[in-house]
Amino acid sequence: KDAILRDVIVVASTLSLFGSVFILVCYVLFKELRKFSYKLVFFLALSDMFYSFFNIVGDPSMGNFYYAQGYSTHFFCVASFLWTTTIAFTLHRTVVRHKTDVEDLGPLFHLYVWGTSLVMTIMGSIGNDYGLGLWCWTKVSQTGKVVRFITFYAPLWGAILFNAFTYFQVIRMLRNATRMAVGMSDHTYQFDSRADMKAINRWVYYPLILIFSWAFGTINRIHDFIRPGKHLFWLSVLDVGTSALMGLSNSIAYGINSSVRRAICERINIWPERFRRWLPAIKLRVQESELVSL
């Protein structure tokens, strides 16, 4: 069973690793993406990349080196979901509060994300003599499991609730503004607004990424805390599989936006025809309602 769990982690983490690296490469190659809002996506992908990498190379047979990897996965995983809160905060501050000072908050974002991740990782080591990796959970004492809940799952679900509340406010405001604009415009704009609303509604899925990634893990931890030693294999598979796919989900939702697709299409269009004809037709419609930043 451990071998199966190991294979699930490696496969899912490899997909996440490729997705995160793709976003990082796009940021480096396409200068038009180097705006503040996409920098947040860059650091999100960077955290996901390291989290996926340490998931892949982690192995219980590696001894002390494995423990170091466990602390690394904990650190970068916390950093990953904290970066999603900075993206939500930036969008809310720009759209709802109409503030233009978000770029000045960059250093505070780094202090908040990396500092909090470091503190949570150090605190999480209390009572966990076996490390912080996925494989080490069942070996930890009940006190250590409580500490893990406080240092990982509490901030995780706090981030989920914050993102959900923030995106709800942003989406509600944009929907109301769109309806008002439609009411005062002609039929042509009303037709275009359907696509705008579709782009806005995509933001509903952003908070669901963390829920999808960590719902089974949370249930598995609660079950193990209530009934220690009574492991459910199918739940463990869903736990490690969905959590390891977090990087891939983030790269698709946050990274591959209209700006990235447009930049890729522009580069492809300058290729010689003999190369382009082998590629599938790419239809791109850039929606301004995506705010380019996300």
What pLDDT is stored for residue 272 in this prediction? 67
Q: Pull the structure tokens for residue 242.
A: 């969905």
pLDDT at 166 exceeding the cut of 50: yes
Q: Is residue 227 part of a domain?
A: yes
Q: Is residue 271 part of a domain?
A: no
Give the pLDDT confidence of 60-71 residue by residue, as tens digits.
555 555 667 878
Give the pLDDT confidence of 109-135 residue by residue, as tens digits.
999 999 999 999 988 877 665 445 554
pLDDT range class, residue 141, cuts 50, 70, 90: low
Q: Is residue 289 part of a domain?
A: no
Q: Is residue 287 part of a domain?
A: no
Q: Is residue 49 part of a domain?
A: yes
Domain span holding position 135: 1-256
**Residues 6+ away with beta carbon under 8 Å from 63:** none
First to last CA, the chain: 40
CA distances from 131 to 100, 126, 141, 144 (A): 43, 10, 12, 10
CATH for 223: 1.20.1070.10
Contact status, residue 255 vs residue 41, Cβ threshold 8 Å: yes
Domain count within the chain = 1
Q: Is residue 284 part of a domain?
A: no
Strands, DSSP E only, in the chain? none
Q: Is residue 186 part of a domain?
A: yes
Q: Is residue 87 part of a domain?
A: yes
